[in-house]
Structure 1
């Protein structure tokens, strides 16, 4: 956590995600092997010194089951159920009492995140909080500029460049729709101001919803300081609303993972054609050929070679292992110096001892 203030966090994860056209709650769709909610929850936990409240709604049972499974990674956190999805402002209204009850400890400010922006980086969130604290603002919002802002809330500024309000796309005038600076939906808000503002929220829009963005105009009218932190990386602000957005996030997240591995000493002949999940570890001087897929919590040792079109899922691989082309290894353990394949299939529980050789078309 970059600042010294007591910071609680809220994650808004109650949306149905109708454009995903899926029975699965939107925030449980996977990006680089993890539900997208993972990334928001981990970021919130790193940034917050106090309670993290995760607001769930659509498919709340499935989301709560997932949160329970990952409890050790996300604790401490509280689940808040938004029975009726009446907008982002309503979601924050449900979470605020949980974060401010006496047992939760003192709160100076809130970090508000969406559960469907998995590409948002820790560096950007830290910069946002630093900006809020250095500017002594009552509210700081994260914004970016994109060439095609349709569907996003526009940031309306005054003649001196000051933030005046955010208008949602469906409520915007023709002139406001020409604005290219958009609201990302991530905020740092002074706790005292937020509590008062939430009590004044009204559904004054065409959707009959409570917009959290309305508190921006409230702050301005009260003469409080509102600032925007503008990120130049519009891609990291991508909210996942469709399968196309999901594919964009997937590609970018995997690019980041491959870059991180290459910087740590892993060789990739064609990183665009190597798929590595977020939970995978790969040792230095290991070479990954095109078409390799490393899934789940796979761990690869040092100085290994994994040839094209091999898939490893939750598999442990020791040092100096050679895996030939087109092998499938599922929850297997491969010890140092072993040679596998080509075209080998190792089923869950398979144990390949040191310097053993598993030949062509072998299935264990």
Structure 2
């Protein structure tokens, strides 16, 4: 038998049970689009690009997948057999084997599929079916075996008898065929069933009647075979994939205090000795170094975090933290927030599109936007960088060692120089030179005996 392996991915279905405008295979599972999980699993099997059968939402699927696959359109959804038949033009000359699987089964692991292909190649089967055993086979096609344990056929639940519905061995929807025999059998498939569709499993009975050997390979882990047909199944897929991700991280030295309530996306990278409490969500392409502590209630998205940082119950989006930084509780680091070594950002501080130099402190109740702040700067409580005039945003700069008094309003664009000071309660509209103190507030006036004039005294 040829070593050539072809792969067909079925991704043409409507996915109506998802109740979504998004094609089913484009829904996310643990931070990765479902069809990408499938492609990651099958790509190591073959030097050829997979052939993806697309239909409903074809353009969106093709735009997302791009050059990772060849595409064939199934203009009318007439069943799995009809879908595979659309790939005949691409595979007519192949003398190898063809793996067929669905685009809504994101939990198959590459190692499982590689073993499946190897098992088929060891056998003399015309087709090998990947099966699984489950206590609740509802909704799955059942594997019907002969007394000698060979596979006779697969019967869909809609067409199964009462006896056949009691069978607990189910069809996962994954097959390997001898490619030539696959398309010969497909040409003989009829649509005389409840749905009026051309079922791919019907090829098994056709091949068996032609004297061909039908094989089966049973999964060790049933959860790998779970498909996603609705939001309930999608939640299960997310749970399974998050468990895998968390397990891999813990094995690599990350300490997850409550893995069941910790949600980490597939592309996140975390270094050893980082401690993550329960109730933490880490998404996108976040990279986190070593010896960090991230506490309950934190949400981190597409950010880069160095070593020895503490993030307490805060939100971090597309931000950069260097080393020994403390953030929170209840801080909000927005896109392009860049914190240098030993920076402290305290409770209810919001930072966007701003760089803070090393050892700078913003302890509480502050907004820093469109700013370049030097090192060793103290930013007092209630400080606001007023950066937007309703049309444009402007940048302010703060020099090293500056002291920004509490409740200062910095009206951009201004330059507060090195070792300059602003008095508490000031509204700064002009540059402040080095070593100067800017006071910009109304002089206090005390009205004596004013209490007696209050209305409640009359």
Q: TM-score, normalised by structure 2?
A: 0.74
User: 1:27, 1:37 within 8 Å by CA — same for their partners in 2?
Assistant: yes
- Distance in 2 between residues matched to 1:170 and 1:93, nearest whole Å: 23
Q: Give the whole-Å Cα distance in 2 for the aligned partners of 1:275 and 1:34.
A: 13
Contact 1:53 1:99 in 2 (8 A): no
Question: Conserved in 2, the CA contact under 8 Å of 1:50 and 1:107?
Answer: no
Cα separation, 2, equivalents of 1:214 and 1:295 = 43
**1:126-163 CA distance string (max 9 Å, x none):** 22111101112110110011122121111111111100
Comparing 3-12 with 188-197, greater Cα deviation is found at: 3-12
Deviation at residue 4 of structure 1 after TM alignment: 7.5
Which whole-Å CA distance do the structure 1 matches of 2:317 and 2:88 have between them?
44
**Alignment match, 1:62:** 60
CA contact under 8 A between 1:8 and 1:107: conserved in structure 2?
no
Question: Which residue is 2:127 aligned to?
Answer: 139
Question: Shift in Å at residue 107 of structure 1?
Answer: 4.8
Number of positions where the alignment pairs a residue of Structure 1 with one of Structure 2: 351
Q: What aligned pairs does 1:12-27 form with structure 2 within 5 A after superposition?
A: 12-27=10-25
Task: Give 1:291's aligned residue.
Answer: 279
Query: For residue 220 of structure 1, what is the aligned residue in structure 2?
Result: 208
SS at match of 2:143: strand
Query: Do 1:336 and 1:353's aligned partners in 2 also have CA atoms closer than 8 Å?
Result: yes
Q: Find the aligned partners of 1:99 and 1:360 in 2 and give their Cα distance.
A: 61
Q: How far 1:41 sits from its partner (Å)?
A: 1.1
Please tell me whether the aligned partners of residues 315 and 329 of structure 1 are also in contact (alpha carbons under 8 angstroms): yes
Structure-2 residue corresponding to 1:185: 173
Which of 223, 230, 254 aligns to 2:218? It is 230
Distance 1:157 1:97 in 2: 33
Q: Name 2:75's counterpart in structure 1.
A: 83
The match for 1:270 among 240, 258, 283 is 258
Partner residue in 2 for 1:117: 105
Computing the radius of gyration over CA atoms, which structure comes out larger, 1 or 2? 2
**Where does structure 2 lack aligned partners over 5 or more consecutive residues?**
352-458
Structure 1, unaligned runs of 5 or more: none
Structure 1 residue 97 displacement after superposition: 1.7
Q: How many Å separate the matches in 1 of 2:73 and 2:273? A: 47
Pair 1:354–1:96, CA change in 2 (3 A): farther
- Aligned residue number for residue 211 of structure 1: 199
User: Which residue number in structure 2 is paired with residue 41 of structure 1?
Assistant: 39
Q: Which residue of 1 aligns with 2:333?
A: 346
Matched, 1:320 2:320: no
CA distance in 2, matches of 1:4, 1:320: 54
Aligned-partner SS, 1:361: strand
What pairs up with 1:134-173 in 2 under 5 angstroms?
134-173=122-161
User: Which residue among 3, 6, 19 is the counterpart of 1:5?
Assistant: 3
Alignment partner of 2:148: what SS?
coil
Deviation at 1:278, TM superposition (A): 0.8
CA contact (8 A) 2:42 2:110 kept: no
Contact between 1:7 and 1:107, CA under 8 Å: does it hold in 2?
Answer: no
Query: In 2, Cα distance between the equivalents of 1:11 and 1:95?
Result: 10
Q: Distance in 1 between matches of 2:336 and 2:244?
A: 31
1:196-207 matches, within 5 Å, as 196-207=184-195
- Who is 2:182 aligned against? 194
Tell me how far apart the structure 2 counterparts of residues 193 and 4 of structure 1 sit (CA, whole Å): 14
Q: Tell me: higher relative CO, structure 1 or 2? Use CA pairs within 8 A at least 6 residues apart.
A: 1
The structure with the greater share of residues assigned to helix is 1
The answer to whether the Cα contact below 8 Å between 2:81 and 2:198 also exists between their aligned partners in 1 is yes
The 8 Å contact of residues 52 and 99 in structure 1, kept in 2 or not, is answered as no
Q: What CA distance in whole angstroms lies between the structure 2 residues aligned with 1:133 and 1:350?
A: 54
State the Cα distance separating 1:54 from its structure 2 match.
1.1
How far the C-alpha of 1:202 sits from its partner, in A, is 2.1
What is the DSSP-based 3-state SS (H/G/I as helix, E as strand, rest coil) of the residue aligned with 2:86?
A: helix
> Residue 280 of structure 1: CA displacement?
0.7
